[in-house]
Structures are given as structure tokens and as C-alpha cells.
Structure 1
Amino acid sequence: MRRLERVFVALNGAVVIAILSSMALIVGANVTLRYTTNHSLPWADEAARYLMIWMTFLGAGLALRWGGHVAITNLHDVLTTRGQRVLRAVIVLVLLLFFAFMVHVGLQYMDRARFQKTPALRLSFLYVYAAMPVGFSLLIVHLLLIARQFIRAGHFEEAEGAGNAISGAANG
């Protein structure tokens, strides 16, 4: 199971890195063309925007896994150890419910926007809005993978090698 989790985290990280790299290449090429030829790629800004949307939603689960989201710990800090565990369990439950709700909302957005086309790329907005249910589904998976450790200890010690797998994907 740990191996599967490491592969999942590494793959998620590699996709986020690939999207960021694509954004940098597209924007860099557009800037270079604009200053060297006085012409730019008409689709570059739009593509970079949609890639950023996808990167944000796909990277949210990784940020959750490593405690990168905002946390206010005043109440948590004044509770007893048992109270802290109960509070963390409630937080996990509320997050799961919220993430599931957002998957549902994202699917509705996809359905409503499927016939609209983006101005420059002429893609269906379905592909843009798909980032929302996919990203929140990944958040659910990441949360379920770390929930037990988070509830017990109040933090998540990443699976052995998971961080190395991501940095390895970035370097290799």
C-alpha cells in the first residue's frame, strides 16, 4: 500500500511539475516572439491561464498532504490531547464532506459549460472546468491517505520516500 501511495504522490507531483514547465515554456516563447518579431501567440495567455487553473487544483492535494494550507490553531492548542484528536477527526470529516460537495458542484459546472468554447483555443470549457472535480477528487484521496496519522498525531509524516519521489521526478 505504501508503494502505491508513493507512486500516486510522485505521479501527482510530476504532473504538477509538467504543467508548470509547460506554462513557463508557453509564456517564455510568447515573450520571446513578441520582442524579437513583434508578433505573439494569440493563444498563449489563455493556455497559460487554463494550465494554471489545472496546476492549482492538481497541486492542492499535495499542499494538503504537507500542511501547506492555512491553519488557525488557537482552539486546537488549548484542548486536551483527546480533545485535539476529536477536533482533528471532525476537521477531516468536514473536509471530506466539503470536498465531495465540490466534486458535485464541479461536475455541474462541467455539464453547464460543455457547449461553450474558449475564445482563442476553441476548446470546450468542459476541459477547463474538469479541473475542479478532478482536483477535489485528488484532495479526497490525499486526505484519506493521511487522515489516520493526522488524527492521531496532529501532523502527517509523509510516506517514506514520497518527497524524494517528487524531487526525483523534478530532477529526472
Structure 2
Amino acid sequence: MKRLEHIFVVLNGWALVLMLSAMAVTVGTNISLRYLTSHSLPWADEAARYLMIWLTFTSAGLILRTGGHVAITNLQDSLPKTGQKLLRAGIVIILLVFFAFMVHVGWEYAERMQYQVTPALRLPFIYVYAAMPVGFALLIVHLLLVARPFITAGGYKRLDASGTDSNVFPGGANG
């Protein structure tokens, strides 16, 4: 199971690297063409915008698994250990329900937009709006993979120097 999780995380990371690289190459090429030839690619800004949308939604799961999203822990810190675990379990359940709801809403919205096309690329908007359900589905998978250490000890997953997952706990107590 750990190997599948590692492959999943690596593939998610490489997808982000490829999208960011494509965005950088597209924007860089467009800037170079604009200054060297006084002409630009009519689709470059649109492609970069849609790649940014996909990057935003598909990177949220990797950020979630490392504890990178904003968290206010005052209530949790004031509770006894059992209360902390119950609160974190409740947070996981609420997040799972919310993420599932957003997959549903995102898919419905993407389906409604499937007959409209983008102005420059002429792509059906379903490909742009599919970033939302895909991103929230990735959030569900990442949350399920880190839920146990988060609930039991408040830990997050981190990639260590060797590229393997390790648990990191607040306050520096690694386990």
C-alpha cells in the first residue's frame, strides 16, 4: 500500500511539474516572440490561464497532505488528547463530505459548460472546468491517505530527502 501511495504522490507531483513547465514555456515563448518579432501567440495567455487553474486544483491535495493549508489550532490545543483526536476526526469527516460535494458540484458545472468553447484555443470548456472535480477527487484521496496519522497524533506526511513518506508531528516529534 505504501508503494502505491508513493507512486500516486510522485505522479501527482510530476503532473504539476509538467503543467508548470508547459505554462513557463508558453509564457516565455510568447514574451520572446512579442519582443523579437512584434507578434505574439494569440492562444498563449489563455493556455497559461487554464494551466494555472489546473495547477491550483491539482496541487491542493499535495499541500493538504503536508499540512500546508492554513490551520488555526487554538481550540485543538486547549483540549485533552482524546478531545483533540475527536476534533481531528470530525474535521476529517467534514472535509470528506465537503470535498465529495465539490466533486459533485464541479462535475455538474463542467457538464453544463461542455458545449461552449474557449475563445482562442477552441477547446470545450468541460476540459477547463474538469479541474475542479478532479482536484477535489485528488483531495479526497490525499486526505484518506493521511487521515490516520492526522487523527491519532496530529501528524502530516512529508517527503524526506530520499523521497519517501515520513510522518511529521507538530513540535518536531517525528515518528
Partner of 1:164: 163
The alpha carbon displacement at 1:41 in A equals: 0.4
Q: Deviations over 1:39-85 (max 9, x none)?
A: 00000000000000001111000000011111011111111111100
Partner of 2:116: 116
Partner of 1:170: none
Structure 2 CA distance for partners of 1:159 and 1:144, relative to 1, 3 Å:
farther
Determine whether 1:36 maps to 2:46.
Answer: no
Taking structure 1 as the reference length, the TM-score comes to: 0.92
Partner of 2:12: 12
How many correspondences in the alignment? 165
Partner of 1:169: none
The alpha carbon displacement at 1:20 in A equals: 0.4
Choose 151-160 or 111-120, whichever is displaced more: 151-160
Partner of 1:77: 77
Partner of 2:168: none
CA distance in 2, matches of 1:138, 1:40: 35
Taking structure 2 as the reference length, the TM-score comes to: 0.91
User: Which of 1 and 2 has higher RCO (CA within 8 Å, sep 6+)?
Assistant: 1
The alpha carbon displacement at 1:118 in A equals: 0.3
Unaligned 5+ runs, structure 2: 166-175
Q: Deviations over 1:85-138 (max 9, x none)?
A: 000000000000000000000111111100000000000000001001111000
Residue type at the aligned position of 2:89: A
Q: Deviations over 1:128-155 (max 9, x none)?
A: 0100111100000000001011000102
Partner of 1:2: 2
Residue type at the aligned position of 1:58: T
Residue type at the aligned position of 2:57: F
The structure with more strand, counted as a fraction of residues: 2
Q: Which runs of 4+ in 1 moved over 3 A?
A: 157-161
Determine whether 1:27 maps to 2:27.
Answer: yes
RMSD, matched Cα:
1.6
